[in-house]
Amino acid sequence: MGRDPVCAALGLALAVAYYTAADALPRSLLADGVGADGVPKLLAAVLAVLSIALGARSLLVGASATAADDPGLRRHLRALGVAVLGAAFVGVAPVLGYPLALGLLVLAATLYYGAAPRPQVVIYAAGTAAILWLIFARGLGVALPAGLFG
């Protein structure tokens, strides 16, 4: 199956979910004639129409992007791994502190992007974390979490 029908189905599902959430919004005494839910409901309806049109077009014309040019599930998961590394940073930074968590992020990302596991990678990660900590904490005065060092 091509990607367009999947895209259309996801768009339709999102439109339904968004409309339901808009319908559940509380009514305010300060509301105008349109209301807080007016524009969101219109957007949901337009998205539903566009999704149906995309699905219909892909069935009539044929899918423009098919599984043949798909780089494969493993590669998609590998790409998603970058976001997972970032999410892990978000999770551990308040506990470990910004410098240590950032050093670990740089170390993990350098290896994840294909660098050979060598001592230079550790030195690079520590150096990058130190430089960015100096720029943000000392240079820009951003309050960074100290974590274990706090």
Nearest Cα to 120, choosing from 105, 134, 110?
110
Confirm or reject binding of residue 124 to another protein (CB under 8 A).
yes
Confirm or reject binding of residue 97 to another protein (CB under 8 A).
no
- Token pair, residue 100, equals 């240590």
Confirm or reject binding of residue 123 to another protein (CB under 8 A).
no
DSSP assigned state of 37: T
Smallest gap from residue 49 Cβ to another protein (A) = 10
Quick one: CA torsion of 67, 73, 15, 24, rounded to 10 degrees?
170
Confirm or reject binding of residue 50 to another protein (CB under 8 A).
yes
Smallest gap from residue 128 Cβ to another protein (A) = 6
Site string for another protein, 8-47 (x = CB under 8 A): ---x------x--xx--xx-x-xxxxxxx-xxx--x--xx
Confirm or reject binding of residue 112 to another protein (CB under 8 A).
yes
d(CA 73, CA 69): 12
